[in-house]
């Protein structure tokens, strides 16, 4: 459920110079670099220094901090998951789309992230009701196939078939009981934010002609 203290929106677009600087930081970052079959990543810390004032202005306050985050260069669409943590309070996720590789006739306007109304207040988890066990070992998240502890789950509700088709990288059962809060367009240079507790996933952007996406995720908490 969206509350008055949660933010779910696009932020102000970045300048082209800032976007190019983020690409440079990613390419030259050597600390905590991640390489798996389906994505590459790198430390967020230099990028956070660049964006701190921007984020404070967009939030409208300085009562936040970011201890966790990463660049992600991904070659496959994301599952339904949350960005929560047991080690710190969960405030807002900030996603900064930076770059992409796509076909000349790609349907770029239809590239979105789905944010659901449902909330999760435990450790970061992939929501995989109806999916078989995986051997991905590519996230620190656990795998949850029983949704009774998802807040505001709508028992018996079946999500719209258009969304199932848009997210056909996932089985329909993954979406049981979920309702859409917002679709956020994913476009380089146009950041957005949503609560870390919110379930969310990408659509299947392979179907749109997109081959690769580079972004930055920052997972924030409030200062004590």
Is 11 strand, coil or helix? coil
Q: Is the pTM value of this prediction over 0.75? A: yes
Residue 176 CA to residue 130 CA, distance in Å, equals 9
Summarize the confidence of residues 8-33 as an average pLDDT.
92
Query: Cα–chain-centroid distance for residue 11?
Result: 15
Is-contact 80 175, C-beta < 8 A? yes
- Binned at pLDDT 50, 70 and 90, residue 141 comes out as low
Is-contact 65 164, C-beta < 8 A? no
Q: Which pLDDT score is estimated for 172? A: 96
Extract the tokens encoding 178.
Answer: 């979920």
Query: Could you please report the per-residue DSSP string of 26-84?
Result: HHH--TT-EE-SSEEEE--HHHHHHHHHHHHHHHTSS--EEEEEEEEEESSPPPSB---
Extract the tokens encoding 161.
Answer: 């078939």
Q: Nearest 5 degrees, angle CA 151-CA 152-CA 155?
A: 115
Domains of the chain by start residue, with CATH: 9-221 (2.60.120)
| Predicted confidence (pLDDT) per residue in 35-86, tens digit | 666 677 888 999 999 999 999 999 999 999 999 999 999 999 999 999 999 8
Please check the confidence at residue 174 and state whether its pLDDT lies above 90.
yes
Sheet of strand 210-221: strand arrangement: 9-10, 192-195, 92-102, 210-221, 65-74, 39-42, 34-35
Q: What are phi and psi of 140, to 5 degrees?
A: -80, -10
Sheet of strand 112-119: strand arrangement: 180-185, 112-119, 198-202
Q: What is the mean pLDDT of the chain?
A: 92
Which helix (H) or strand (E) segment holds residue 23: the answer is helix 16-28
CA-to-CA dists, residue 106 to 103, 207, 210, angstroms? 5, 9, 6
Residue 73 CA to residue 42 CA, distance in Å, equals 9
| Predicted confidence (pLDDT) per residue in 89-98, tens digit | 999 999 999 9
Query: Cα–chain-centroid distance for residue 102?
Result: 20
**Count of C-beta atoms within a 10 Å radius of residue 170:** 21
């Amino acid at each position: 459920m969206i509350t008055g203290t949660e933010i779910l929106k696009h932020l102000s677009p970045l300048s082209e110079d800032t976007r190019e600087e983020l690409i440079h930081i990613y390419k030259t970052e050597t600390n905590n670099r991640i390489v798996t079959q389906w994505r590459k990543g790198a430390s967020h810390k230099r990028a956070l220094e660049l964006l701190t004032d921007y984020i404070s202005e967009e939030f409208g306050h300085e009562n936040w901090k970011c201890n966790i985050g990463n660049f992600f260069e991904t070659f496959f669409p994301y599952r339904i998951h949350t960005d929560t943590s047991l080690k710190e309070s969960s405030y807002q996720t900030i996603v900064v789309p930076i770059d992409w590789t796509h076909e000349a006739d790609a349907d770029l306007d239809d590239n979105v992230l789905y944010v659901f109304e449902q909330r999760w207040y435990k450790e970061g988890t992939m929501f995989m009701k109806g999916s078989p066990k995986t051997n991905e070992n590519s996230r620190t998240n656990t795998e949850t196939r029983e949704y009774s502890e998802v807040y505001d789950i709508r028992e018996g509700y079946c999500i719209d078939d258009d969304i199932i088709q848009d997210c056909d990288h996932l089985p329909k059962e993954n979406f049981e009981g979920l309702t859409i809060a917002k679709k956020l367009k994913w476009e380089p240079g146009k950041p957005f934010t949503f609560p870390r507790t919110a379930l969310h996933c990408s659509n299947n952007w392979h179907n749109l002609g997109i081959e690769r996406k580079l972004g930055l995720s920052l997972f924030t908490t409030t200062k004590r």
